Amino acid sequence: GAGVSQSPRYKVTKRGQDVALRCDPISGHVSLYWYRQALGQGPEFLTYFNYEAQQDKSGLPNDRFSAERPEGSISTLTIQRTEQRDSAMYRCASSPRTSGVSNEQFFGPGTRLTVL
Amino acid sequence: AQSVSQHNHHVILSEAASLELGCNYSYGGTVNLFWYVQYPGQHLQLLLKYFSGDPLVKGIKGFEAEFIKSKFSFNLRKPSVQWSDTAEYFCAVIPGYSSASKIIFGSGTRLSIRP
């Protein structure tokens, strides 16, 4: 596709439910990043992949959060047993090369998650 | 703690006014610096970036930023703003010690331009 896409764009769920957020990176991009942005804050790193390998998950807040990218393209961020504090904008980004500081990241539109 | 600080949460200007948004970071050593912009209803977009070389960086839409290493600053400037510059602006850093491109963002500055 022309850009990074994310689905759903908006998700409202009840506390205790599981949610899966999807990211489809720019075709050919090898690295994929997940960020979370709370209201009034900047995005915070969650995890990233090079191809299908998860390289760093240090930003995942607890073990209810997990991510996968099984074929090195589409990624899914799963939140189990959601809590109200999980409400945020979840952003995905992709980049054309593996890790390296000059590697530009292109962001998707985000998924706005609201946990009631 | 290591961080990126943006001094103003909300800036309101009239059209044609000059703009400067402050950004300071607390990482020592090599850093890679960015400004991202999010226009209403749109994605985060890269406005400009600094990796090395000339510390005065020019970006899209007439924006520029100056890296001052001694002040740990990377302030964003535009000589004359337009109504269409209304957006949220994020300063961001990738510390040079990071083996990954983990971007560390500031909390953002909301810019409102009065027509």
* B42, B46, B96: residue with CB nearest A101: B96
Contact B45, B38 (CB under 8 A): yes
By three-state DSSP, how is residue A60 classified?
coil
Q: With an 8 Å Cβ cutoff, is A107 touching chain B?
A: yes
User: Nearest 5°: CA angle at B18, between B41 and B66?
Assistant: 85
pLDDT surpasses 70 at A1: no
Q: How close, in Å, is residue A87 to chain B by CA atoms? A: 17
Chain B residues with CB under 8 Å of A35 CB are: 103, 105
What pLDDT does B52 receive? 85
pLDDT surpasses 80 at A49: yes
* A40, A91, A103: residue with CB nearest B44: A91
Cα dist. A4→A22, A49, A84, B103 in Å?
11, 15, 27, 17
Average pLDDT over residues A49-77: 95
- Determine which of A66-75, B42-51, B79-88 has the lowest per-residue pLDDT on average: B42-51
